[in-house]
Structure 1
């Protein structure tokens, strides 16, 4: 009897009671939170800080763009001079320019990857078509010396098999 799957179901939002499942869930989802914060920072040009405590309160994980400290100082109203100084403004401009350059480079690389995948698919289809074609139907006049030398032992083996079959049937 075939199994029936319900597909991707919505998980009820409630605290996970079992410690092993809780740790596994935390380990699996924590990098995604940081990735989303990074994307938000890059795409919207905002400063982001995320601080996460592990379920057992032993470790602290943090992510910040430009840094957790800079965002916290700005949030708490401290160090206004440093955030508006020409050096930090220049550093921020350089960081944003580098990020924009990397985004453009990533976009180009993804486009190249997509085109290479299409070429690969076309090559795979061509190879499949060539595999399906009967090699003995190719016009011999179009074959080169190397191809003819490779074809000769194959044809001779085929002739021997045909002769053996004729003898067996006679």
Structure 2
């Protein structure tokens, strides 16, 4: 192939495209971009530390709230440098600030706590995008405070409704698979109902 043809072939490519800086609407694409950019930031920070001997600390919060950290020589040693060592001139002494290493430990604990939630979020698979499961099948570990309160209220309402129906049925007939275990009403042989030891136990 001649040099002229090779040059023409190269010109046909669009080359590196400039990415518009705005919020990525697609959820999957946004997660991929976040992972790549976060890794790039940490790589640049590591290069800065190696090439220039700088002490670097980087903290990144994901859209879901998960914390990612990078520190050289360590996150705690870099944050500790921000701890005040002298009182301000004039006026009453300032209240002591929390030691940076305490903040670092809290961040580390928060990262461990949210790591499991993030993994659950990433490994979840939906049959159709945007279609949620039934509310009683949701994992309570993924719920926030307000969602937990609503979930509790819904369970209590469901329990009260089930008790009313069960008491009404008791006056009509007693099924063969009906059990009364220490005041707990259950249907141990019915595969469509949960055992009496669950949160849906109809105990008085």
Query: Quick check: TM above 0.5?
Result: no
TM-score by length of 1: 0.41
Larger Rg: 1
TM-score by length of 2: 0.34
